[in-house]
Structures are given as C-alpha cells and as structure tokens.
Structure 1
Amino acid sequence: MPRRFVAGGIGAVMALGFYIVLGALAPTPPRLIEASPMESPGEPGNAVINGHVNWWTGDAVFTHLSRLRIGDEVRVVRADGRTVVFKVSSKRTVDANARIPSLFAPSTDTTLTLITCSGTWNPMTQSDTQRLLVSATVA
C-alpha cells in the first residue's frame, strides 16, 4: 500500500491511513484514501486509489484531482519505501453507478487509477452524480 504520493497540479498528499475495500468504494474520513488490495502501485496490474473530493468540514484528499493534466507526473511512495513515477495518460468522468470491469481486470500493464466524486451533489442519495477517473502509466 502507498504511504504518500505527490502529483503535479495538486501538490503533496499524505496518506494517514487506509480503508481497504474490494471493488466497492465506502465512506472514509477526509484525509484517508481507499486503496484496492488487488495491486500495489508499480507492480503489473491496475492499482486503484479512491479519495474524497470534499468533506462536511471542507477540502479532502482529492479536492484538486481535477487539476491533473495529461502528462503530469504522479509519484507514489510505497510502504516499502520505493518511489514509483507515473504519468497521467487519461481523464474521464463516468456515472456514479457505472460498473467498470476494466478497473479490476487482470493486466500485465503497470497502471494507476485515481478516483474521486464529481458532478452534482444529490441530497436524496447523499452522493455526487459522477466519478472522476484519472489513469496513469508507469513512467
């Protein structure tokens, strides 16, 4: 699991802890991020990290994720101390209820996907209407 990452356009983000999920994105406090235990960043496969865009107290870990641009670097410091450098390769917005099998599909490519809420807040569902996915490949 990553300890911290630095991304151009959003600055340094320190992960204070993790809430582990298997393909489901559950609520966590604002400074925590969720990481899929499927792949470790820098290993073959897609490492998926989800973080809040905001919190009832204000900004959260991925408040500025939308500022990342194609070609920006994302540096992930893993728990073993190794730093892995990725370059943003794509950004897309999907419906909050979209099922995206490719996120957790086996792959020999080494990729990273960062996910946060986007769109409009829906008070009935207590959720945003979309998700922002930022994908990056190992540099």
Structure 2
Amino acid sequence: MRRGITFKIPNEHGKILGDLLKPFNTETFHWYIGGEESYFIQNDTLGEALFHKEIYGMDGRVLKELLESYEYYIIFANFKAFPKEKDVIDVQTYEEFLNSDCQLVLLVVDCEYATVYGKDQVKLEALYHNAIRNGYVDVQYITNENDFRTRLSVS
C-alpha cells in the first residue's frame, strides 16, 4: 500500500509549497502548522517568520493565499490537513495519522527533503506526478515496506 511520497525540492526561495500542493485542495481544509522554521523573502533576503508559532486550525484559504502569493524560504515545515468540521490535532505517528481525521501530512527537513503522507490514493498519485512535472528529484512512493520514519514530525 502507498502511504505517501518523498522527494527533494530545490534548496532556494520561491513559492515551492504552493506549487507542491497544487493538486491538493488546500483551501477546503483546516491546517495544523508546526511553526517550524520558514521565512518570508524581503529584499532578496530572509525576512519575518512565515509562521510565528504553532497553529491549530489555520483556514485553508489563508494558507493557500500565503503559499501561492508570497516568496518564502522553507528550512523546516510541518503541515497537517483536516476536514473543516473536524478537530485539528498534531498527529505524531503513522498509526495516529491512520486513526485520525487528518488527510494529508507535509514535512520538509533541511530545506530540501519533502515527505507527503496521504489517505486519498488518487490525490497522492496526482501529487506524485506533480512532483515529477515540477522537476523535483528522487520522487518515490513511500510504502509499508520502505517507510522507516518513526514520527510524523520534523523536530
């Protein structure tokens, strides 16, 4: 069974997460944002933090606007999508993810290593093909056999 995908994104500033999430209906969810380390780009340098703290329930329309309209640099990121009518929590393991209402997990580590877990296999396949179209490197499916991650977190 396909759990998710993993790949390398460019280690540069841009609208990378907005591009990465294009096939996913970001705006139709509420999001957990881990408040890790990401910055707006201002005058071609790192500016204010993209997220100042951990957020439980960021509206997907706000997140979509932020990720698709502004330039930023991602060092570490932890995003989790929940249906709007459900409680937003920070799931920590794959088992918690499976047993929760969380529909998608997006993790970025060290500026370039991206991992996406998803429950919807059609959306997961669309994200996989989108990653290839965007020129991301080493795009691979994560399966039960090759998933060595013990926590769905970047810290």
**Highest relative contact order (Cα 8 Å, sep 6+), 1 or 2?**
2
Question: Which structure dedicates a bigger proportion of its chain to helix?
Answer: 2
